[in-house]
Amino acid sequence: MVGAFFKRYVASVRDTKHGESYTTIMKYVLPEMVSALILSSILTIIDAFFVANLRSTSLYAAQGLGSTFMLLVSKIIEGLSVGTVIMVGFYNGRKEYANAGRVCVTSLWVALVIGICFSSFIFLGASSLYAFYGVSPKIALAGTQYLRVRVVGIFFQCIFASLIGFLRGIKNTRTPMSFYVMGAGIFILFDYLLIFGFGSIPAFGLIGSAWASAIQYGCMALGVFLYVIVHPSLKAYNIKFLSKFTGGLSLRILWLSAPVVVDKAVLAYAKIWLVLLITPMGKIAIASFTAIKDLEQFAFVPAMACAQVITFLVSNHYGINDWVGIKNSIKKVLLLAIVMVMSILAIFSCASHFFIGLFDPKHVFVNFAATVFPFISLFVFFDVLQLILAAALRGASKVQTVMIVRALVCGLFFLPYSFGVSKLPLSSALFQFVMIYTSFYLADALMGFVYGLYIVRFSKKQELKEKILSVHE
């Protein structure tokens, strides 16, 4: 049975007639990799490096905890744009360009409202968040001030994500990459200047990082807004942002996005849950978690890019009922994602002391983190698997299925299992750390198994339906 499965898999990934070619897939993936690298990894690492050079453990801890929470925020914002990607991709595949343009306009208005509500909520609840972490008053004060400035960037990030969702839906991945590169340059420049100061510019410390993020996303949101309005290649979509607001369409976008927001938030919150379980182990374990998380997030960039690509590929194939193309594209994208992610992790594992040492100039936790990193990295395979399969299901508008599976697995397996592991009377702190951390990836493995079964059953059912319809015709 296993041999037959691998035989079919190899045949699918070598099939050049059905699904997208590897050249086409990589043409989409490479720009998305740049975008994902900037959005989810490299800027966080650079920011953490700058803050670490302030040589304040309290500020570094505040930034680390804040970045973990901002991962949750970014996942929610990313989820809100998926509904736009799906609907625009569906209409674009059918060549109904005017309807795709209406989705773009409506999604922007939805993003404006959500951005205001979201930013207000975080501003008012920043102090409660750090109280929830259970940190010292000094760390809580620094983190609260940081988040209350950071909400300005969150508002612009919502606007930017909605417009980028439209561009991804029409299979334009190069333009988002260009704006992410521009934003990265802006952030790095202002992050350094505002944290450390330069000439007449005063040093703001950790708060400077928050202001740099606000400037970054403000410029990116303005840039993509002007691009969508004036670029001649988008005239067919008849985009008019001052046109009549469509309530029904906005509800449809939210209906598609809400399950994605929930399932992405569930996994992002899982990292916060891990922090809560690891905190009693002491500052070395907490610092190790932060460094390992950042390195894994960097290695995970190709998988995130592949997930974005498979969503709109499946969405476009789904519009024309190309079920063989869908299955082959999923298998090819999954193979590429696994090879790229595990290769990066192998490099990090071979030189773990060097890479983790970048976050630990005082060499306080590098030995602990470098020891556990190679073992934890092996389990990342399961995270790649569930991410790609979940993204494929979203492309087929099965967003509620993804949400339900993730919520059930996290609620019924991950939370109780990880909590139980954290309470085991283990003599080795290293082993207990690995057990707690990898509980997240064991949950991923269970999700990936369920998603795989669902995709196989769903595709067979649809193929049978197509055969029946063709016979009647």
- For residue 154, count CB atoms less than 10 angstroms from its CB and return exposed for 0-12, middle for 13-18, buried for 19 or more: buried
Residue with the larger pLDDT of the pair 321 and 54: 54
In Å, how far are 146, 195, 210, 334 from 198, measured between CA atoms? 20, 9, 17, 46
What is the mean pLDDT of the segment spanning 282-307? 87
Region for residue 137 given its phi and psi (left: phi exceeds 0; alpha: psi -120 to 50; beta: otherwise): alpha
**CA 92 vs CA 168, 195, 249, 262, 393: distances in Å:** 11, 44, 16, 26, 19
What's the rounded Cα separation, in Å, for the pair 326 and 322? 6
The model carries a pTM of 0.78
- Reduced to 3 states (helix: H, G, I; strand: E, B; else coil), residue 300 is coil
Q: How far apart are CA 85 and CA 165, in angstroms?
A: 5
353-361 contact pairs (CB < 8 A, 24+): 355/295, 356/288, 356/291, 356/292, 356/295, 358/49, 359/48, 359/49, 359/52, 359/287, 359/290, 359/291, 359/294, 360/287, 360/291, 361/52, 361/53
- Is the pLDDT confidence value at 88 over 80? yes
**pLDDT for 318:** 66
| Euclidean distance between CA atoms 170 and 163, whole angstroms | 11
Contact 83, 253 (CB under 8 A): yes
User: Model confidence over 348-398: pLDDT tens digits?
Assistant: 999 999 998 888 877 888 899 999 999 999 999 999 999 999 888 888 778
What pLDDT does residue 296 have? 92
**Best-predicted range by mean pLDDT (25-29, 240-244, 427-431):** 427-431
Tokens 């190709």 correspond to what residue?
302
Q: How confident is the model at residue 281 (pLDDT cuts 50, 70, 90)?
A: confident
DSSP of 314-330? HHHHHHTT-HHHHHHHH
Q: pLDDT for 432-463, tens place per residue? A: 999 999 999 999 999 999 998 887 776 666 55
The residue among 366, 345, 346 whose CA lies nearest residue 356 is: 366
How far apart (Å, rounded) are the C-alpha atoms in residues 368 and 353?
10
* Residue 209 token pair: 């990082």
What is the torsional sign of CA 109, 115, 116, 121?
positive
Which of 150-154, 316-320, 340-344 has maximum average pLDDT? 340-344
Question: What confidence tier does 155 reach under pLDDT thresholds 50, 70, 90?
Answer: very high
Beta-carbon contacts of residue 62 (< 8 Å; ≥ 6 apart): 130, 135, 139, 140, 142, 143, 146, 206
Q: What is the mean pLDDT of residues 207-217?
A: 93
Judged against a pLDDT cut of 50, whether residue 181 lies above it is answered with yes
**Which residues contact residue 178 at a Cβ distance below 8 angstroms, ignoring those fewer than 6 apart?**
none
